[in-house]
A and B are shown apart, each in its own frame.
Chain A
Amino acid sequence: MNAVAAMLRRDLRLAWRSPGDSANVVLFFVLGVVLFPFGVGPGAEILARISVGVIWVMALLAALLSLDRLFREDAEDGSLDLLALSPAPLEFLVLGKVLAHWLVTGIPLIVASPLLALFMQLPAAAYPVLLLALLLGTPTLSLIGAIGAGLTLGTRRGGVLVALLVLPLYIPVLIFGVSAVEAATAGLAVRPHLLLLGGLLALFVPLSPIATAAALRQALH
């Protein structure tokens, strides 16, 4: 647990020094969503119909974009090698890094989402569920993304390859995230959808550090 906290503190401190990273991710999210009214017309009905899907897909893509910074800088300046050599299990260090990543990129997405829901004419009833679903979903996106980032460390064409690896695995999060918010819009039961999202998160909390650590180990020697 100490290892996780230490890693978390370190990464947060580093992220604090370059706030641009966080800002870029949020800006991409916002701009991407804003494109849709221009693409499909300003009609409230269409926008409301596609709003949930658009917000979630853009959140996915924004998360994807942010994955690069998860390991790349540490790999480049050699810190990753040092971390791998430390007595703390690499799995815990990964968990700490992913947590930091989520705090830096996921939380801003959640904070920005009400504004985007407004742009996309999402019915008011759905706002709380949107926030809750993103709260459950974005950590999972960071966790799954970490696996992809670890696997592609050291490849030259990293960026697009990560997308190819990670997006199919993101699809269940997308499906359950969207269904939760649409259930709220329709006035139906939201709990089963949120439970599924929670289930995914619970699955990846152990799975991701294990797989990512394995990927990092074979990338580093």
Chain B
Amino acid sequence: MHRYANPARFQRLARAIFPWTTGLTVLCLGGGLWFALVQSPPDYQQGETVRIMYIHVPAAWMAMFSYTCIAAASAALLVWKHPLAELAARAMAPIGASFTALCLITGSLWGEPMWGTWWVWDARLTSVLILFFLYLGQIALFNAFDDPTRGGRAAAILALVGVINVPIIKFSVDWWNTLHQPASVLRMSGPTIDPSMLLPLLLMAFGFTFYFVSLTLLRIRSEILARRLRALQFAQGSAEPAGARRVSA
């Protein structure tokens, strides 16, 4: 792993992999959309709204997956001091937050026709909402400091504290939900999965995953450049007056 701590090496690796992951993204999403929208049957209970599930469930998986990745990157930063770890966490946070938001929004759009309400405090929705706030807190912390390394380390600590709390939050929300007996039994997981529905679900899930990987690679490259730019600006700020030519460091 430390082989790729060198930004230049990472950039080369990223550039090599990127076309492949992007291609796989397009393929899986394309195939997924085809099967999700056209080539799969409507549910006998939920009708066409079941097609929303093909976004909602993979988005939920991605919300969890990216949080785990960010936690892993945070551990890599704090424990092993891997230099690219901070940039990776920084890159992934907005993507994870987006998937979480999409999970909530598509959940709402699914909930209204199916269960007659745009929002309901069932255990799963509530946990995802809290997860969304955890993401927002992370992103805010990344951007709260003038010195980006400080922001990166603070966000990493928060990510690890957060990850310990996620099972606690999930448990407490489940507890709270069973205590308060919601009016209807909600099953956002939808129908039991028929193979004709499993295929679009998995394709969309893989599509989202490859999207995540591709976009993360791209954003890490961007973060590397931002760091480099900062370093250059500092170097120049302390050197000759503007306009003087100097060989780059």
Contact = CB atoms under 8 A, between A and B. Distances in A.
The answer to A–B direct touch (Cβ < 8 A) is: yes
Interface of A: 147, 151-152, 154-157, 161, 164-165, 167-169, 171-172, 175-176, 179, 182, 196, 200, 203, 207, 211, 214-215, 218-219
A144 to B, nearest CB: 9
Contacts of B153: 218
Nearest to A156: B144
B150 A218 contact: yes
Contacts of B161: 147, 169, 207, 211
A196 B153 CA distance: 31
Given A179-B179, A218-B154, A165 B172 contact: no
A172 B154 contact: no
10 contacts: A147-B157, A155-B144, A156-B144, A165-B137, A168-B133, A169-B169, A179-B179, A211-B160, A211-B161, A215-B157
Given A169-B165, A218-B154, 7 more contacts: A151-B141, A152-B144, A164-B136, A164-B140, A172-B171, A175-B176, A215-B157
B204 interface: no
B78 interface: yes
B175 A175 contact: yes
A161 B168 CA distance: 22
Interface in B131-151: 133-134, 136-137, 140-141, 144-145, 150
Interface of B: 78, 130, 133-134, 136-137, 140-141, 144-145, 150, 153-154, 157-158, 160-162, 164-165, 168-169, 171-173, 175-176, 179
B168 A200 contact: yes
B145 A168 contact: no
Contact of B175 (A157, A161, A168, A179): A179
Contacts of A167: 133
A120 B137 CA distance: 33
A189 B137 CA distance: 36
A214 B157 contact: yes
Contacts of A157: 144
For the complex of A and B, 9 pairs with smallest distance between CB atoms: A172-B172, A155-B144, A218-B153, A165-B137, A175-B172, A168-B133, A175-B176, A151-B154, A164-B137
A9 B134 CA distance: 35
Contacts of B175: 175-176, 179, 196
A151 B134 contact: no
Contact of B140 (A156, A161, A196): A161
A207 B141 CA distance: 20
A167 B140 CA distance: 14
Contacts of A147: 157-158, 161
Contacts of B168: 172, 200, 203
Contacts of A207: 161, 164
A171 B158 contact: no
Contacts of A218: 150, 153-154, 157
B137 A219 contact: no
Contacts of A151: 141, 154, 157-158
B120 to A, nearest CB: 17
B27 to A, nearest CB: 37
Contacts of A179: 175-176, 179
B137 A168 contact: yes
A207 to B, nearest CB: 7
B169 A168 contact: yes
Contacts of A215: 154, 157
Contacts of B78: 214
Given A168-B133, A172-B172, A179-B179, A155 B160 contact: no
A155 B151 CA distance: 9
